[in-house]
Structure 1
Amino acid sequence: MKRTLALCLTLAAALTLTACGGGPQEEGLFYQASGIRPDAVLLSVNSRDVTAQRYLYWLAYACDYIAEYYDSGDGIQWADTVSGQSLEDYAMDRALQSAALYATVESWAEDYGCTITQEDRDAMDREWAARVAQYGGEDAYLAVLAPMGLDRAGAEAISADYYLYKHLYDLYATEGSELAPAERDLETFAQEQGYLTVDHIWISTAAADPADPEAVAACRARAEEAFSKLNGSADPVHDFAVLAETYSDEPNRDQHPDGYTFTAGDGTLPAACEEAAMILEEGQFSGVVEAEDGFYLLLRKPVDLDAVAPDYFDALLQAGAESAEISTTRAYDTLDVSSFYAALTEARAELSPSGTEAA
């Protein structure tokens, strides 16, 4: 799962200051596309209202994703299916999940007394200034945001949720706090999700010509030499790290001196290494494992619960969003995704280079 929540809280899934604009309540890109006032409530998540501006931002994001990956050139066929849903239902559900997640962050922040601080506001100001400089001026940056229905007036609306999320996580990571997890809960989560903590020594074959068997054999011999030393060690757990410093071609070992914590299939290690690691007991090391990118020695360690903790927090928050009581309004229930996105596409085309509606 890695640090996903940042999941959807990747600052609005792709932007660095993703935000939904405020402004007049019968204007704006999403009003043009839907005819729904931006301040109209479309749904509630555990009694927390979600406005049209917020939900339609996420719906537009989902539609853009569909347009990128499912438009074969003849336009989006909204009746086509993905994951057992029509593309229209898929877009609505993706937007609903995002809206529910952000609403849950806000509700938890209220429940646990987390608020936006002056330091947060200063950080948002600095981030805004950095983006303005990056794009060559505020007007230029606003023009980038405009097709997404964003403006400076509401720039803190969603990015503020990122800071609330951070404060919630800081509370969660504080021992003895209301949000701090019990160690047994972390252990259960790690076991259920199949987390492994594995250190490795990697002898890369990147520089070896695959057509030169002697070059590949030299890499294998180096791995076997490291294994021989490890096998003869009185303290292999300690000496594994020492040998890694000498033999391993891992470029980021200083960032992961105790190994990696991961779940099978997430791509952290090659599949051959995952398979070998899963049959090791904690404290056991492997023989030489051959993978596409070289030769490995593996040491399975007790699961690093500190590395699991961020994912567990995200899972708790995600579960809170998924179990929330959601009620929708008639405007939500009658929203036609294909019509909305067609109108949104037209409205975007009418924007001037400065991001304002062309005369």
Structure 2
Amino acid sequence: MKRHTACILTLTAVLFLSACGEADAESGLFYEASGIRPDTVLLSVDGREVTARRYLYWLACACDYIAGYYDSGDGIQWGDTVDGQTLEEYARGQALESAALYATVENWAEDYACTLTDEDRTAMDREWAARVAQYGGEEAYLDVLSRMGLDRTEAEAISGDYYLYRHLYELYCTEGSQLAPAEHDLETFAQEQGYLTVDHIWISTADADPADPEAAAACRARAEEAFSKLNGSADPLNDFAVLAATYSDETDRDQHPSGYTCKAGDGTLPAACEEAVLALEEGQFSGVVEADDGFYLLLRKPLDLDAVAPDYFDALLQAAADSAEVSAARAYEDLNVQQFYDGLQQARAAQRGSGEGAS
């Protein structure tokens, strides 16, 4: 199971959800599943209240994820352990992490005077219209949203947090602002996390017949030809890009004009390539490196701090969420995940059977 820390992915995962009508105090899927009123405050994150409506939405998302991966047809075995956690503990932890993250976005937005703009609301309206068209009408889309337990107020709040996140990031990128990183902090973060920037020429063996040694040999010969030209160049750093345009089988080079910035060990590079790059100084290039998917020539470039900047912002935001002071109400402590999810599934089935949607 992957730890849910990439906050921009979290934020965009529920982008532009909106629905018409608000749930009554004692109605809706989550109330039916838990018996907890939607407006009940379950948590406080650095003083910001998190209602049952918000927390149970994240808990439902976590349970749905678990059901997709760990229910083999006999139901979820909530006591099973993965990575030292029971599935119930994992679901609670993921829901709490998401709730704390969103609350932190809202707290930061308040602290740094970031608010939704007219342009934000116009963009949300456009996306709403696109979603309605995608699902064949507003009623059909509202039915989908109602099965997610969302009313208009909560769905728009979640959507709005994405825009608040964007404004916070813009402030972070503004030199001299309250959120701008201090001098050398970004560079220190990049070094501690093992970031590196690399360009490569990749000769793919994907189309080579594994049973035909001559096919692989032809690919290697092509890579060696490119290396020979690079090694004989008077300006190899400049000519690397020129040779890549001629020899590389990469299809998205235009999207990475400055090379690829990644963390060592994150799987972006084949293991053999990563080992070769780490042995290079900035400005040095490798010989031909063989990997499972082909042959590579690698150029280690100066670290692209602009490419690291979004990750550092996310790390700062996640660290703030992780260290937030969280207090929990008795209703949160007493919530049984298995009972909640069983009740949620029953409520969803009843809703599908009745053909009811949001109103």
Please name the residue that 2:211 is paired with. Answer: 211
Local SS of the residue matching 2:42: strand
Please name the residue that 1:327 is paired with. Answer: 327
Pick which of 313-322 and 231-240 moved more. Answer: 231-240
Please name the residue that 2:338 is paired with. Answer: 338
Please name the residue that 1:10 is paired with. Answer: 12
Residues 117-144 of structure 1: CA deviation (Å, up to 9, x unaligned) = 1111111111111000000001111111
User: 2:232 & 2:283 partners in 1: Cα distance?
Assistant: 15
Please name the residue that 1:150 is paired with. Answer: 150
Alpha-carbon offset, residue 207 of structure 1? 2.5
Residues 32-88 of structure 1: CA deviation (Å, up to 9, x unaligned) = 111111011001000100000000000111111111111222211111112212221
Alpha-carbon offset, residue 89 of structure 1? 1.6
Match status 1:95 vs 2:119: no
* Contact map agreement 2:25 2:37 (CA 8 A) in 1: yes
Distance 1:54 1:20, change over 3 A: farther
User: 2:250 & 2:145 partners in 1: Cα distance?
Assistant: 40
Map of 1:29-48 to 2, 5 A cutoff?
A: 29-48=29-48
TM-score when scaled to structure 2?
A: 0.94
Alpha-carbon offset, residue 182 of structure 1? 2.7
Please name the residue that 2:302 is paired with. Answer: 302
* Contact map agreement 1:55 1:99 (CA 8 A) in 2: yes
Alpha-carbon offset, residue 18 of structure 1? 7.0
Distance 1:20 1:163, change over 3 A: farther
Question: Which letter does structure 2 place at the counterpart of 1:303?
Answer: L
Q: State the percentage of identical aligned residues.
A: 77
* Contact map agreement 1:42 1:55 (CA 8 A) in 2: yes
User: 1:70 & 1:21 partners in 2: Cα distance?
Assistant: 34
Local SS of the residue matching 1:10: helix
Please name the residue that 1:26 is paired with. Answer: 26
Distance 1:58 1:21, change over 3 A: farther
Please name the residue that 1:178 is paired with. Answer: 178
Please name the residue that 1:198 is paired with. Answer: 198
Distance 1:357 1:126, change over 3 A: closer
Alpha-carbon offset, residue 355 of structure 1? 5.7
User: 2:327 & 2:236 partners in 1: Cα distance?
Assistant: 58
Distance 1:100 1:39, change over 3 A: same
Distance 1:183 1:197, change over 3 A: farther
Distance 1:74 1:306, change over 3 A: same
Alpha-carbon offset, residue 19 of structure 1? 7.8
Residues 139-196 of structure 1: CA deviation (Å, up to 9, x unaligned) = 1111112221023453311010000000000111112211111341111111111001
* Contact map agreement 1:19 1:157 (CA 8 A) in 2: no
Distance 1:19 1:222, change over 3 A: farther
Match status 1:267 vs 2:291: no
Question: Which letter does structure 1 place at the counterpart of 2:13?
Answer: L
Alpha-carbon offset, residue 219 of structure 1? 1.2
* Contact map agreement 1:20 1:53 (CA 8 A) in 2: no
Question: Which letter does structure 1 place at the counterpart of 2:356?
Answer: T
Map of 1:89-128 to 2, 5 A cutoff?
A: 89-128=89-128
User: 1:16 & 1:236 partners in 2: Cα distance?
Assistant: 47
| Unpaired segments ≥5 residues, structure 1 | none
Pick which of 210-219 and 163-172 moved more. Answer: 210-219
* Contact map agreement 2:199 2:300 (CA 8 A) in 1: yes
Alpha-carbon offset, residue 354 of structure 1? 7.9
Residues 66-116 of structure 1: CA deviation (Å, up to 9, x unaligned) = 111112222111111122122212111110000000000000000111001
Question: Which letter does structure 1 place at the counterpart of 2:301?
Answer: K
